[in-house]
Structure 1
Amino acid sequence: MNNTIEQRVMDTFHHLHNNAEISWKEVQTTSYIEGILKESGCTVRTFDDCTGVVGDFGNFNAGLPVVAVRADIDALWQEVNGEFQANHSCGHDAHMSMVLGLLWRLEQEKDLAEKVAVRFIFQPAEEKGSGALKMVEKNVVDDVDYLFGVHLRPVQEAEMGHATPVIVHGATRMYSGVIRGEDAHGARPHLNHNAIEIGAQIVNMLKQIHIDPLVPHSAKMTAFQAGGESTNIIPGNASFSLDIRAQTNEEMERLDTKVNNIMDALKDLYDVDIAINLIGEIAAAKLNDDAIDMVRGAIVDTLGEEGLDEPLITPGGDDFHYYTIKKPSLKATMLGIGCDLKPGLHHPNMTFDEKALQNGTDILYKAVKNVYSL
């Protein structure tokens, strides 16, 4: 790889890593990428009502297949070394950098501009599970034939120097919840129902859900707040969050029904108001052999046969798959990059081998060229 491009990718990664922004607030990230796209000769589109930016490179008037490459741009809000901040612990800074590296590779070969039609989608709010749907609403894939995504993989799933041509994500739903009751004096526990005990009941009942054991699934509470500074008050109110996952969309429906049934049962048992509100969801992956083959060949060309991993089935989720759900004819797959990522995705101190950025850039470049048989 050209050393200048390699350095630009690395510099871009460090800039994005140090200037992380959370979902729907990626204002500076959008502006930064917009500038790069324009400098590289792309036709650029931004949006009045949301963050995110799209750039078109190549010849869109010659009837060529349109290849889109998507990078997610938002960071997580989490505690890092005792302080809450926006943090790219899911690798979106790396994804943006690799996709920009692809653009620079294409731009470097001057004759390619007439032979390809590549759309770069820098999508907001993947962590909210809603950014892809917004981009669909903005018609960014209406004329797209192939769609490639990319995601770093933890060391438990892929080793450095390896890659998988498809990440088979599961479905995810995220709920916020409230328990509404009345407070009582600590000496009179018979006068109310302790919201903390109700929360414990929810946790215990979630553990007792049984659906098909051959399909990976989970349901768990991920946040709970109740009570205050006064230790002699039994709290009647609480707020909480739920994260539920299943490997298939069909099993997600069964799991979701059981979770809602638990809330209804406890609401009747304790005679309090328990309500959950869906705040985000992600669909399970829909696979396309044609797109997978394009990326499989690119991995072998880049890393050799020994670097090619089998399709990766993972309980993680990504809203990338809404593109194919909303446009079933789309030929899409997500490349998984092995990069010695530790301790894991979403860990506040996640690190990975930055040399993998070059591997990802090269694989994406060759996958795009494979579509056009170049």
Structure 2
Amino acid sequence: MKDQLMKMLEDRKEEMIQIRRYLHEHPELSFKEEKTAQYIIDFYKGKDVEIHTNVGNGYGIIVTIKGERPGKTIGLRADFDALPIHEETDVPFKSKNEGVMHACGHDAHTAYLLVLADCLIQLKSKLSGTYKIIHQHAEEVPPGGAKSMVESGLLDDLDVVYGTHLFPTHPAGDVGYCSGYAMAGRSYFKLKIQGVGGHGSSPHLANDAIVAGAHFVTAVQTIISRRLNPFDMGVITIGSFDGKGQFNIIKDSIEIEGDVRYMTADTQKLIDKEVHRIVKGIEEEFGVTCELEYVPDYPSLYNDPEITADVVKTIENSSEPEIHKIVEFPRFSGSEDFSYYAEKFPACFFYIGSKPKGVEKAYFNHHPKWDIDEDALLVAAKAVAEVVCSYNK
């Protein structure tokens, strides 16, 4: 069955590319992917599958393929939202939606999974177990789509779930992995500091919110340098300090926004606690009032070591010519809402090299000139096919 599946995928490589190019031309932002979702739904029309639409908090889709032989239940996930980026490539299938671009490969994720799913449908009589194809909306914008799709209950019977992501750091043919904690969790905060405004000539009659805010900016970095174990990963970024006023006027209020990254739940809790503690201290020290919004977004992504070891072994033993090697990737400080699946089910999220041919250094994800080597689509389809065939043999 596996050999037949691989041949079917080879024969449909061009179809994968054409699907990817169509989706690239018609990107839609997170939670607004109505037409993309309809395209996916139309692809499955008339096929022998069970389909759930509008799953979760948006346009999520779950397609269930039931094999005729007993086996485990496998989840395969691909995201399909785009980014608010003006495309600067010169490809003929450039985005037709001004200011919106598939700059992270979600078009390619969807394209390969659609074709792989269709091949599995055609092989149902030889298929062991059940395959749940998870077409997920809104990966790019918290709260994301994954959490709500997990909470829908439609995936409760999964034995394992796999996801992939294109990465331009390696050429097509390379498959990457990272066991254990692989991608960082993320939190967002906004702090409003309310003081008392006044004239610059009479600071004693005012209470300067900018001074209090500047102290906060410095103090929160001591969480990383003096509260966090040096062997743990944590980053606090102040992305916005809104204190613009007049040169001789003491500001009465300012707003600060920031981003927090961490690799474990314990680190997340520690940073959360310390940020709140510092804010209370600033209120006491400067006599201001503070309003803090602190929201944990995506948790850290944890790849089950046993499942990941099976993925590595399977890819290492692959004889497919498109798959060249498997490479261990370092931990990545970016975030991914696939982490919600991995919180509940044994999971592995692995990487597919997609560096365009002939370039020394490719533009990274979320860049307006992002591009891929479209050979990566067949690599992704075959790598996932290898993994699922091995798991449900």
TM range (shorter): 0.7 to 0.9
Question: Following the alignment from structure 1 to structure 2, what is the Cα–Cα distance between the partners of residues 11 and 79?
Answer: 22
Look up the SS of the partner of 1:319 in the other structure. Answer: coil
Instruction: Call closer, same or farther: CA 1:190–1:215 in 2, change over 3 Å.
Output: same
Judged with a 3 Å threshold, the aligned counterparts in structure 2 of structure 1 residues 214 and 141 are, in CA distance, closer, same or farther, namely: same
RMSD value, Cα: 3.0
State the match for 1:17 in structure 2: 24
Residue in 1 that maps onto 2:59 = 51
SS at match of 2:12: helix
TM superposition score normalised by structure 2: 0.81
CA shift in 2, pair 1:273/1:35, >3 Å:
farther
Give the match for residue 271 of structure 1.
Answer: 287
Counterpart of 2:353 in structure 1: which amino acid? G
Residue among 91, 98, 107 paired with 1:93: 107
Larger radius of gyration: 2
Counterpart in the other structure of 2:240: 223
Q: CA deviation at 1:198?
A: 4.2
2:381 to 361, 369, 373: 361
Tell me the distance in 1 between the aligned counterparts of 2:20 and 2:149.
23
Q: Which letter does structure 2 place at the counterpart of 1:35?
A: D
- Which sections of structure 2, spanning at least 5 residues, go unmatched? 1-6, 89-96, 357-361
Secondary structure of residue in 2 paired with 1:308: strand
Letter of the 1:45 partner, please give it: H
Residues 97-150 of structure 1 deviation map (CA, whole Å, 9 limit, x = unaligned): 2222321332454644x4341111112232214422201210132111110011
Task: Report the TM-score when normalising by structure 1.
Answer: 0.84
Residue of structure 2 equivalent to 1:163: 175
Task: Assess, with a 3 A threshold, how the Cα gap between structure 1 residues 182 and 88 changes in structure 2: closer, same or farther.
Answer: farther
Deviation, 1:54, is 0.7
- For 1:370, give the aligned amino acid: S
Please give the secondary structure, in 2, of the residue aligned with 1:316: coil
Structure 1 vs Structure 2: percent identity of aligned residues? 26
When residues 265 and 76 of structure 1 are mapped into structure 2, their CA distance, relative to the original with a 3 A threshold, is farther
Asked if the contact 2:85/2:103 (under 8 Å) is kept, the reply is no
Mapped contact 2:241–2:256 kept (Cα < 8 A): yes
The alpha carbon displacement at 1:274 in A equals 2.5
User: Which amino acid letter does the alignment assign opposite residue 117 of structure 1?
Assistant: T
Amino acid at match of 1:126: E
The corresponding residue for 1:236 is 252
Separation in structure 1 between the aligned mates of residue 114 and residue 171 of structure 2, nearest angstrom: 23
Residue 342 of structure 2: aligned partner = 324
> Across the two proteins, how many residue pairs are aligned to each other?
364
CA distance in 1, matches of 2:157, 2:50: 15
- CA distance change for structure 1 residues 13 and 232 in 2, over 3 Å: closer, same or farther? farther
The whole-number CA distance in structure 1 between the counterparts of 2:209 and 2:236 is 20
Shift of 1:332: 1.0
